[in-house]
Amino acid sequence: MKGRIRFFTEGIKYRISNKKAIRIWIGNAIINEKLNIGDINIVICDEKYLLKLNRSFLRKSSHTDIISFPLSEGKNVVSGDIYISHLRVKENAKKYGVSNFTELSRVIIHGILHLSGYRDESVKERTKMSQKEDDYLKVFPLIEYTL
C-alpha cells in the first residue's frame, strides 16, 4: 500500500515550501523505522483551532505546538493527522534560535514519530524521541539546500 502525504491549513494563510522534499524526507524516515507509508495529513493551523482540538479530544485546556491522531488501519502502516500551531512554531523558532523552517521540520518529524508509535510521556521516552528528531533533522538540510 502506498500512501499519500498531504498538507493543509486551517484558520491561517500559509504556504509550505519544499513540499516534495518534505514528503521524501518523511517517507525516508518512515521506511527507516521499518514501517510503511499510509495516508498522512499535516495541517498547519491557528492557536484557536488547535486549542479546540486539545480540549475536545485530549481534555486539556493548554496550548500546544502539535497534536497527532494515529489512524493506521493495519500493522506497520503510518497513517494519521498531524495538527501544528503556526504561532507556536514561530515562537519556538525564535526561543531556540533556529529558522521557522527548522522548527517546523522538527515538529513535523515529532508528529511522524508519534504516528510511528513513539511516546514522550516519561523522561526516557522524551530523550529517545528527541534523539530521533535530531537524527532525522541532520539528514533533512541536505535536501533543503539542494532544491
**Fold for domain 5-144?**
Collagenase (Catalytic Domain) (3.40.390)
Q: Give the pLDDT confidence of 11-49 residue by residue, as tens digits.
A: 998 888 889 989 999 999 999 999 999 999 999 999 888
87-137 confidence digits (pLDDT tens): 999 999 999 999 888 899 999 999 999 999 999 989 999 999 999 999 999
Mean pLDDT estimate for the chain: 88
Neighbours of 106 (CB within 10 A): 23
What integer pLDDT is reported at residue 15 of this predicted model? 86
**If pLDDT is split at 50, 70 and 90, which confidence band does 141 have?**
low
Describe the crossing of helices 47-58 and 86-96 by its angle, rounded to 10 degrees.
110
Q: What pLDDT is stored for residue 16 in this prediction? A: 84
Q: Is the pLDDT of residue 51 over 70?
A: yes
Under the banding of pLDDT at 50, 70 and 90, the label for residue 55 is confident
pTM of the model: 0.90
